[in-house]
Amino acid sequence: MGRIARRTSAVAWCCLGGAIVLLAYAAWLLLSNGPPRVKSELDPLALVQLGVTILVGVLLQQLFSHEASVTQKQKDLIVEQIKAALECLDAVHLLHDSPGNLNPNDAFQRRISECKRLGMRLETVNRVLGHCEFGNGTEGAALLEVFLAYKTALTENVALSVADLTNARTLYQRLTEKAVLLIVDVNRG
């Protein structure tokens, strides 16, 4: 729970305590004769009405605070999954950008393996977006569409040509941009 939610919850509990005290005092005034000076100055029914109003306000605040907390947890989960997908994307990009001493077949197998892992991460992002009912449902599909083009550029040929590398770099940039913009949209929404 965030700092603002904790403070809001503390204020709500204080208001609830105040409402209970007011209701108890009003009940005492209604049930007993009480001191005449106090009885003439305060109307017990007005105190009951005030106490009930405060109680309803506190309950509504607790309801909205809980919903905001759940929504923030969903946003955090989505952002966490997108960041994990970006880490996989960076690993794939580094693999084809600097293959090192791997022979072409081994590099190709590693590209396929890393692309599978990235695809699973992006599919998870897509499913989490759908489950949390975030956006209009096209954000995850747009990421997957760019990923498929990126995967095709990397795995279409065993040895990557200059055109394949250029296309892969362009698609890497588009995929990164879409993922980062999705994080911004999630945090904004």
pLDDT in tens, 46-59: 777 877 888 787 77
What is the rounded distance in angstroms from the CA atom of residue 72 to the CA atom of residue 76? 6
Least confident of 6-15, 31-40, 132-141: 31-40
Question: Nearest-CA neighbor of 88 among 147, 163, 157, 159?
Answer: 147
- For residues 183 and 58, the model is more confident at 183
Evaluate if residue 1 carries a pLDDT over 50.
no
Q: What is the pLDDT of residues 63-85, one digit of tens each?
A: 777 666 667 888 888 889 889 88
Q: Is the pLDDT of residue 45 over 80?
A: no
How many residues can be counted in the chain?
189
